[in-house]
Structure 1
Amino acid sequence: MSLTLTADPAELTAALIDVPSVSGDERPLADEIHQQLVQLPGYQVVRSGNSILARTTGHRPQRVVLAGHIDTVPIAGNVPSQLDGDRLAGCGATDMKSGVAMLLHLAATVENPSKELTFIFYDCEEVEHDRNGLTRIERELPEWLRGDLALLGEPTNALVEAGCQGTMAFTVTTKGARAHAARSWMGHNAIHDAQAVLAAITSFDTREVDIDGCRYREGLNAVDIRGGVASNVIPDECVVKINYRFAPDLSPDEAVARVRTHFADFEVTIIDVAAGALPGLSQPAAAEFVEAVTSGADPAAGPVVQAKLGWTDVARFAALGIPAVNYGPGDPMLAHTPQEWVDVNQIRQMTQALRNYLS
């Protein structure tokens, strides 16, 4: 297997799909990307685990960081890639091997860029935060994340998706008393008390917040419920796991405070929380990018910039004070599904739009 970075980015996408890279098993693909990047003139290249980083080292006034994860969710019978007309299907087609192909192609073909460029191709994005390649890079090579703007090639269906929601996982626990089911009045059923927890979830004020013209919609949802000891025992505990997607105008501490206040009558345990990212579109570098890639868009087709409803690694850059947006081929609604596919024309068009901006 040998990747040709200067090839048609749609063909490069197919080649990337054909190299399985499920989270934790990215080494073969990382080895090939590393081998190709070290051959490019004008780049400093380093490797961190199965993440490969490459940057120009000139003196242009701005630096743009372009990042994409090379891992995928587990394969669902959708490797190798399949091309049907303009549809290229396969594991990671949208999330995000088409975005990685776009960035690799640009790294190899943009001549005399108008900005300094940093490319980051990282591992383990689809799994827990501690294994994410950017977590390691932020700890060991923090200077590589610095820039005036960060672009992540996450699928956006040719739109610019700005910022992202914050995310929190927590549990609410109800306590009861065990008893024989034949004498239930001698105990207290913790599962029955979970009705009040579910009612509190539905009464929570899930806000819609407009920031820089991007509308972020919050969500609070029960995602798991566990309780019970045996079919003849009244349960003495029930645990409801809840996911909260909060607008980026709230800090993690503020989001936790909202949850604790709303569920003040219950036992609440915070499992994890990650900050969202403000869109930052009013910052000059972000505004310049949006103007460059959306100029000429048909207003009748709808907005070309929207809020990212979900959490992505743009939040890491926002925490560093760097405006960051998502911009990549593919419909995000198809991500992680066995039917994942991407329009090859969209790959080519978005690659050209980004080339124009960088040049």
Structure 2
Amino acid sequence: MGEAGHPPLLPCCAPRGLSRRALRVPRPHPHQDGPGRGRGARGAAGHGALRGLLRAGGGGHARLREHRRSGRHRDHDRHLGHGGLLRPGGPSRPPLGRSGHRGRAGAPFGPAGHHRGRRLHRQPLHTGGRGVDRRGGGAGSQHGHHLLHAHRRRHRPRAGGVPRPGARPGSGGARQPAQEVPRRHLPPALRPDHWGAFGLHRPQDLAQRGAAGVRGAGVNPAADLAWLIGIPSPTGEEEALCTALARRLSPRYGSDALVRVGNSLVVGRPGAGPRITLYGHLDTVPAQGNSVPEERAGRVFGLGASDMKSGLVVMLALLEDAEVAAGPYSVAGVFYDKEEGPAHENGLEDVLDAVGWLSRSDLAVVLEPTDLELQLGCNGALNARVAFLGEAAHSARPWLGVNAISRAGEWLAAMHRSEPVVVEVAGLEFREVMSVTRAQGGIAANVIPARFDLNLNYRFPPNLTIEEAEVRLREAAAAADEVEVYDRSPAGAIPEGNPHLERLARATGARRAGKQGWTDVARLTRRGIPAVNYGPGEVALCHRPDESVSVAAMEEAFTGLKRFLTTG
């Protein structure tokens, strides 16, 4: 039947010859909505109520389908279910091969829509209500139960105006399982910028994706990581990601608790309890054909998955968690830029200068990749230009000159034979190593080189100062003619005796280790901020084309940190 005051869309009885065909009629109204994707042209036309569906990208006709019961009994008075009316977040196609005849081999047990068979999880087309005839046929009839309840909408407040804990718009009851992470983009008809064309103006008008549970928490790490990877942020191009994070967190924190420093973002404000600050860099190395995220076999692949957008996922989940906000700690987050570039351009220094209260943190957690180890301290790093000098000559008469490259041969051989030196600091092992990382010499193929330049990289343990480390480097390069130290990064101090570190270790159960490498823990400890490294990323996969991270690792990092932040 048509809407009130309008003529019927179709006669109540189907014309002869059309009893086995889908019907096409002029669309009665441009806002007749429903993101249906067509099933097959099977099914019967008959005597029940008809539902019109707007096909995404379709033409000027609505596809009408009826729900026919088995044995040619009367209709259920409900829509059979196109692909777009599935459970929120589900695939936009009929599951289990239901496009064919329901009596064929492999079809679900029982008639379509029967609650004991495998039925479509559908969003009701209207709120309905309790009809008189519950066996089917009456308006608002309820055959079985809907998995998505039309009466639980965001604009229908609970008695007293207090929402039920854990409720979210469009979600099902307690028995409804969490949705899987989608492995595709949203259909165009569901994108927010397409809602107006369908007469949809609020998120409540559409079925809402609920977050999959992470050990009982309302976060979805794989989906959040795919979202972050999908916003490119190579070093120097972090603006879009910083803006996206600010927009996401603004409704929860308000503009007064978001401080933007260039393309870095500080989230939170000073509170009454001990201050715990979470740190993560926004940038990645350049793409290597891995800029599109992909999830398979319990892992998320893509640029920055391990280093360190998986750490950002955990930060987001903690900053958005109500129990963390109500916990004993004052928790803040710092998302900063340019960590992967030259040390003197790192955006963290500007953030620490601009937001003074960060320096009064009781503990900072840097969510760099650590394979879920609690890594304390970090190596310091020096880089030096080392030059060997010679005298140019024609390559046909080398005895008239001095080959600078050959002069460096013995020193290079000694560097090649050198072994890492294991140093123990505060019960943790660090390795002291020197490596030649670059070399350049000669001006032409037929000229004896007069100069040979090399780069010497030195990683030193936390028990050495910058000055002590530089003395050791110059001693190691004594055979060279020139040594110029041009890049200095201090080692990160180990926060021995920090009570919050001890609680963090107990809450996570993580193995303690020294950080073999340099992280921004060193910048923080140099300013007197106790800091540690702890993150879900995998060190061996950083900066690789096949970079990935385990979803389970993100879950474990979140669970451990939340336990720490909520129990004190």
TM-score by length of 2: 0.59
The partner residue of 1:45 within 229, 250, 258 is 258
Q: Does residue 308 of the first structure (1) align with residue 515 of the second (2)?
A: yes
Q: Which whole-Å CA distance do the structure 2 matches of 1:196 and 1:238 have between them?
A: 14
Corresponding residue to 1:100 among 308, 312, 326: 312
The match for 1:201 among 415, 422, 426 is 415
- Give me the whole-angstrom Cα distance separating, in 2, the residues matched to 1:156 and 1:80: 24
The residue aligned with 2:67 is none
Using the TM superposition, give the Cα deviation of residue 358 of structure 1 relative to its aligned residue in structure 2, in angstroms. Answer: 0.5
Corresponding residue number in structure 2 for 1:85: 297
Task: Indicate the residue corresponding to 1:351 in structure 2.
Answer: 558
Q: In 1, are the aligned partners of 2:276 and 2:361 still within 8 Å (CA)? A: yes
Q: 1:284 aligns with which of 470, 489, 499?
A: 499
Moved more, 179-188 or 203-212: 203-212
* Count of equivalent residues: 350
Q: Secondary structure at the match of 1:181?
A: coil
Letter in 2 for 1:52: L
CA separation in 2, counterparts of 1:205 and 1:330? 28
Are residue 270 (structure 1) and residue 477 (structure 2) matched? no
* Deviation of the 1:39 alpha carbon: 1.6
Mapped to 2, the partners of 1:31 and 1:115 lie a distance apart of 27
* Displacement after TM superposition at 1:139 (Å): 3.2
Specify the structure having the higher radius of gyration (Cα): 2
Alpha carbons 2:370, 2:534 under 8 Å: kept: yes
Query: Is the Cα–Cα contact under 8 Å of residues 275 and 331 in structure 2 kept in the other structure?
Result: yes
The amino acid of 2:390's aligned partner reads G
Please identify which structure carries the higher helix content: 1
Instruction: Indicate if the aligned counterparts of 1:10 and 1:348 stay in contact, CA closer than 8 A.
Output: no
Give 1:49 deviation, angstroms.
Answer: 0.9
C-alpha deviation, 1:155, in angstroms: 1.1
- Is the contact between residue 44 and residue 57 of structure 1 (CA under 8 Å) also seen in structure 2? no
Question: 2:227 — aligned with what?
Answer: 15
The answer on 1:118 being equivalent to 2:332 is yes
Q: Counterpart in 1 of 2:531?
A: 324
Any idea what SS the aligned residue of 1:338 has?
A: coil
Aligned twin of 1:162: 376
Q: Distance in 1 between matches of 2:220 and 2:395?
A: 67
Q: Matches of 2:469 and 2:233 in 1, distance apart?
A: 35
Query: How far off is 1:200 after superposition?
Result: 4.4
**Residue 56 in structure 1 maps to residue 269 in structure 2:** yes
- Cα distance change, pair 146–204 in 1 and its aligned pair in 2 (3 A): farther
Q: Using the alignment, how far apart are the partners of 1:261 and 1:29 within structure 2? A: 45
Q: Aligned equivalents of 2:348 and 2:520: distance in 1?
A: 8
- For 1:253 and 1:54, locate their aligned partners in 2 and report how far apart those are by CA, in whole Å: 36
| Alignment match, 1:301 | none
AA aligned opposite 1:193: R
CA distance in 2, matches of 1:203, 1:80: 42
Give the Cα separation in 1 of the matches to 2:359 and 2:304: 24
1:173 and 2:380 correspond: no
Conserved 8 A contact 1:98-1:330: yes
How far off its partner does 1:206 sit?
A: 4.2
Structure 1 position 202, deviation (Å): 4.2
1:339 corresponding residue in structure 2? 546
2:426 counterpart of 1:219: no
Residue deviations 1:50-105 (CA, integer Å, cap 9, x gap): 11101233211x11111001111111221221111201111111111110010011
Aligned-partner SS, 1:218:
strand
Question: Does the 8 Å contact 2:541/2:547 carry over to 1?
Answer: yes
Q: How far apart are residue 204 of structure 1 and its match?
A: 5.7
Post-superposition shift, 1:272? Answer: 0.6
User: Per-residue deviation at 1:284?
Assistant: 2.3
The aligned amino acid for 1:270 is V
Hey, which of these two has a bigger chunk of strand by percent? 1
Contact 2:390 2:451 in 1 (8 A): yes
C-alpha separation between the residues in 2 aligned to 1:79 and 1:104? 21
Please list every run of 5 or more consecutive structure 2 residues that lacks an aligned counterpart in the other structure: 1-190, 193-209, 212-217
Code of the residue aligned with 1:177 in structure 2: it is: E
For the 8 Å contact 1:172–1:197, the answer to whether it is kept is no
Cα separation, 1, equivalents of 2:262 and 2:516: 30
Q: Shift of the alpha carbon at 1:234?
A: 1.2
Residues 1:68 and 2:280 are matched in the alignment? yes
- Tell me, in whole angstroms, the C-alpha distance in 2 between the residues paired with 1:255 and 1:41: 44
Per the alignment, in what secondary structure is the counterpart of residue 170 of structure 1? strand
| Aligned-partner Cα distance in 1 for 2:360–2:230 | 32
1:201 aligned counterpart, secondary structure: helix
- Separation in 1 of the partners of 2:501 and 2:318? 19
Percent sequence identity over aligned pairs: 36
* C-alpha contact (below 8 Å) 2:376/2:515 kept by paired residues: yes
Q: SS at 2:228's partner residue?
A: helix
* Alpha carbons 2:359, 2:529 under 8 Å: kept: no
Q: TM-score, normalised by structure 1?
A: 0.92
Pick aligned residue for 1:153 from 367, 371, 383: 367
Q: Quick one: higher RCO (CA 8 Å, sep 6+), 1 or 2? A: 1
